[in-house]
Structure 1
Amino acid sequence: MHSNKLIFSFLSILLLFTFKVSSQIVLPKIIGHNMVLQQKQKVSIWGTASPNEKISVAFAGQNKKTTADKAGKWSIQLNRMDASFTPREMTIKGNTTIVLKNILVGEVWLCSGQSNMEYAMRKYSKFETAVKGYKPPEDDLNKANNTNIRIFLDRRKYMDPSPEHLGWDAAMGKPLVDFSAVGYYFAKDLYSKLNVPIGMISAAVPGSRIEPWIQASKMDFAPILKNGKTLEKLSADGGESGKFYDTMIQPLIPYTMKGILWYQGESNCFLNENIRYAYKFKTLIESWRNEWNNKTMPFYFVQLAPYAYSTTKDERPHSAEQLPEFWEAQKLALHLKNTNTIAITDLVDSIADLHPGYKWEIGRRLSLLASNKTYGKKNVVWSGPVYKKMRIVHNTIEITFSETGSGLTSRDGKPLTWFTIAGKDGKFVPANAIIKDNTVILSAAEIPNPVVARFGWNEGTQSNFINKEGLPAVPFRTDNPWDKLFQ
């Protein structure tokens, strides 16, 4: 009899403990102390609790209430708020209470991709030894002290909820050491232009192909070109669909943010992909926007840097034109609204280096892009010359450009490099290139009747063709076979 009482008491304590644990509010890792909430948008706050538990969320004078569903899931949306440097608390109440501290309101961006986006601030020594210009103005790794820039490092095995709610940090000291250099310098430059708190989320994995970043259910389809031709089914092409989406992206959804920065493609370029990558990229952009319920969310990406793919020992042989064809595939994403790209052909010391160190300048250029296209600062020049159209005039080809800034020029004062033209036989030769207003006039003595032109159509391209703001021209070919077929 005494034994039965002991068993009953033990079971009662166990049930009471189980109830207390199950009744605790659990928040996703991304919602925690020091976070930045997106200004001027409804802000999602969500988590789990006991089934049918009543939940309230109080922040900045708002007090939102909801009830968890039968599975214990709950979510609310805070009303739109203006940016604020004032650190405030958020109180989340149910059967238990959570108080999150030091929360700011400003602009939130996600940066994702592979190693060049993951490239951490701890590699600062490579910045200091860079041969070309664009030196960082100061030693940010050791001197960064802006508590209004906050960072969240998304690690695959780190995204499970925890009771400490310590996901976010100020961008300084030890937390900054492991954070994306591109992401940090984007935030630093954007802060100088907007003067509001900036929150950066970094979710990047070295060596990753694009397929693991796409939800597996979205990948298995056969693209159809505008001419009716059906390409082979994409599926995963040997990659692991959804691997990083499931563990790193999905746990962030639906955290409210302004836009996405993407720097990825080297692993797919090694596979000699072009149009197939374009459709995977389109799938990623559209599916992420749909998951965040924001079909026009800004999505900005980095054109891959020059690299000698053709010299690498690989089971697939690579030509010197493989990388330009990949650039072309990346640019097909510009068919989607609110997408754009930056060129970095000038940010390489050696085309044998797959990881050039000019990450501060890449972050700055992405900030220029966002400043102009997202935040309406039209006086900010964000890109070098972009091919617009061509016309044949006698024995020359005249190329017209957009994004000319305050004018076209040569970086070193010498004749423009990496322009080629060809006649109907398709044999390209170097072209004489002369700047006239916002056009470039191309000619070659051995091509009396030119029909096509190319610029920077080589993996080693580091042209001197820029606008007067110092931004490099974007490589192109006027005989692009995909632009009118892609949909």
Structure 2
Amino acid sequence: MKLRGIYTLLILLACRIGASAEVVLPKILGNGMVLQREKPIPVWGTASVGEKVTVKFGKQSKSTAADASGKWQVMLDAMPASAKGETLIISGTNTIKLTDILVGEVWLCSGQSNMSYEMRKNSKVNKPDTMTTAYSPVDEIEHAHNPQIRIFLVTQKNLAKPDSTHSGWSIAQDSALRAFSAAGYFFAKNLNHDLKVPVGVICAAISGSRIEPWIPETEFDNSKNFKRISKDSAQVSGADGKFWHRMIEPLVPLSLRGFLWYQGEANMTERESYMDKMEMLVNSWRTAWKDQQLPVYYVQIVPYYYSKMKSTVVITPETLPLFWEAQGMMQHQANMGMISTTDLNDDVKNLHPMFKWEIGRRLELVALAKTYHKPVVYSGPVYNGKFVDGDKMILSFSGIGDGLVSHDGKPLTHFTIAGKDGKFVPAIAVIKGNKVEVSAATVKAPVAVRFAWIEDAQPNFFNKNGLPAQPFRTDNPNVLYTR
């Protein structure tokens, strides 16, 4: 009996050692991935306590030991871009070989349905009348076979457990591309074309999601502006961090260049509170990655008939412009940027418009200018000042580019003007050099001008670089938006 007990103990010990000794990697580290160039590269996972783990890539070899909780991490030195597939070897008791690893630019895309909008849907949209060539972005899946563009689609479940096959990353083509974000893909395609380096893009987006679940719930607990009194609280609805925990946190500390964000439709009735939440999201993500300089570039949502929807709150045709204003004010914070989309909805009854290729292109222009410091025009006209000259209000702008223009050659649309009575009337707006003169016969002493201040606004005020002016009002009191 004594000998039998010893055998049993030995068997149990062998099973325990065999079960715990395996080196295991998180799902995001896999075959075909892209490592971020010019930054230290963390490689991490789990193993048995105290187990020595060695990571080799190219000429580098780094070792560490798993800590008391079985976690380990090594930092590879920063590397230049490389389109040559290499093998990343992680060895402990077992050895894992990740093949076809590139070095380039890595971006994380997130948000709701317009970010998750798949390339398969992009293939079904009507080709714009202006596209007369045989090839158009609508046909992209048929032509996409560039091994320098890699994609990883995050779901609510696929990061939860390690994958012994180390799959997940794919070349942006065929079925993997069909299921991937159109905006994210076209961003990557343009970036690869302009920088001539591999690009990896990760998409973690959920249709219909509010901003709150993407923020760690501790941010609300510690916020002076929000308290998670109940899950039914209007200002913190869904503030349980579930998408953060399931879809973003498991990606930390993957080295990447920045974030792309396309969300807001589900929070459209907010203003100041959305700005606070956006600030919380940005700060918490940057904190998780231990880099307060990581850029966040995002999309101003499109014109849409929100006021015609059934809603438990009052929505007027000016509710959306107020949200646009809140979105627009965030772009002036450090390492943030926004694209306008007033021209990118061919049907204002459609909350999920086509033209995702242009969304991706405009986001890439912002990244080129603000992150990669390329001399490109990345924004349309942005209101930045006014003065009154008699019966006219003279407006000035940044984002002039090569000059201000009416996109269709017709008189400028969607300008209104008001005097002291506060009644806004349609205005005549005329481009004079790099300024716009706004007036109306019935307003002798103008006090304020508004532009695109209605939910279905699709104005023709652009710069000559083809980028639309952002909606604005000169009478924004700024009281609600003090930071």
Aligned counterparts of 1:9 and 1:292: Cα–Cα separation in 2: 48
Describe the superposition over 1:9-47 as per-residue Cα deviations: whole angstroms up to 9, x where unpaired.
455334313311211111111111101000011111111
**DSSP-derived class of the 1:98 partner:** strand
Residue identity opposite 1:427 in structure 2: K
Equivalences for residues 303-318 of structure 1 within 5 A? 303-318=300-315
Per the alignment, residue 415 of structure 1 pairs with 411
Percent of aligned positions that are identical: 49
The residue type equivalent to 2:335 in the other structure is N
Q: 1:101 aligns with which of 99, 102, 110?
A: 99
Please state how far the C-alpha of 1:273 moved relative to its aligned partner: 0.7
| Alpha-carbon distance between aligned partners in 2 of 1:336 and 1:486, rounded to the nearest angstrom | 13
* Aligned equivalent of 1:197: 198
Aligned length: 475
* Counterpart Cα distance in 2 of 1:234 and 1:389: 39
Q: Distance in 2 between matches of 1:461 and 1:327?
A: 12
User: Could you say if the C-alpha distance between residues 163 and 222 of structure 1 is closer, same or farther in structure 2, counting changes exceeding 3 Å?
Assistant: closer
Structure 1 residue 249 and structure 2 residue 274: aligned?
A: no
Q: Which residue of the partner structure matches residue 227 of structure 1?
A: none
Q: How does 1:129-140 map to 2 (within 5 A)?
A: 129-130=127-128, 136-137=136-137, 139-140=139-140
TM-score scaled by structure 2? 0.95
1:266 to 2:265 alignment: yes
CA distance in 2, matches of 1:35, 1:50: 26
- TM-score scaled by length of structure 1: 0.94
Cα distance change on mapping 1:267 and 1:198 into 2, 3 Å: same
Query: 1:16 and 1:420 mapped to 2: Cα distance?
Result: 79
Which residue does the alignment assign to 2:476?
480
For residues 387-406 of structure 1, the aligned pairs below 5 Å read: 387-406=383-402
Match 1:462 to one of 421, 436, 458: 458
Q: Which residue of 1 aligns with 2:322?
A: 325
Using the TM superposition, give the Cα deviation of residue 65 of structure 1 relative to its aligned residue in structure 2, in angstroms: 1.2
Kindly tell me: are residues 242 and 232 of structure 1, through their superposed partners in 2, closer, same or farther at Cα, counting changes over 3 Å?
Answer: closer
How does 1:331-410 map onto structure 2 within 5 Å? 331-378=328-375, 380-410=376-406
Which residue in 2 is equivalent to 1:111? 109
Map 1:150-229 onto structure 2 (within 5 A): 150-159=150-159, 160-221=161-222, 223=224
Task: Give the direction of change, closer, same or farther, for the CA distance of 1:357–1:169 in structure 2 (3 Å limit).
Answer: same
CA separation in 2, counterparts of 1:394 and 1:221? 51
Q: Quick one: which amino acid aligns to residue 432 of structure 1?
A: I
| SS of aligned partner of 2:294 | coil
Amino acid at match of 2:257: K
Q: Are the aligned partners of 1:51 and 1:68 in contact in 2 as well (CA < 8 Å)?
A: yes
Deviation at 1:252, TM superposition (A): 0.3
Q: Return the offset for 1:237.
A: 2.0
What SS does the aligned partner of 1:122 have?
Answer: helix
2:276 aligned partner: 279
Q: Secondary structure at the match of 1:46?
A: strand
Q: Cα–Cα, structure 1 residues 133 and 397, in superposed 2: closer, same or farther, change >3 Å?
A: farther
Q: CA deviation at 1:133?
A: 6.1
Distance (whole Å) between structure 2 residues aligned to residue 284 and residue 207 of structure 1: 17
User: Closer, same or farther in 2 for the Cα pair 1:106/1:222, shift >3 Å?
Assistant: closer
Partner of 2:232: none
The separation in 1 between residues aligned to 2:333 and 2:317, in whole angstroms, is 28
Q: 1:88 aligns with which of 67, 79, 86?
A: 86
**Structure 2 SS opposite 1:219:** helix
2:261 and 2:297 in contact (8 A); partners too: yes
Distance across 2 between alignment mates of 1:136 and 1:280: 38
In the alignment, which residue of structure 1 is the partner of 2:449?
453
Question: Over aligned residue pairs, what C-alpha RMSD do you find?
Answer: 1.8
Secondary structure at the aligned position of 1:82 is classed as coil
The residue type equivalent to 1:172 in the other structure is: Q
Which has the higher mean CA deviation after the structures are superposed, 330-339 or 467-476?
330-339
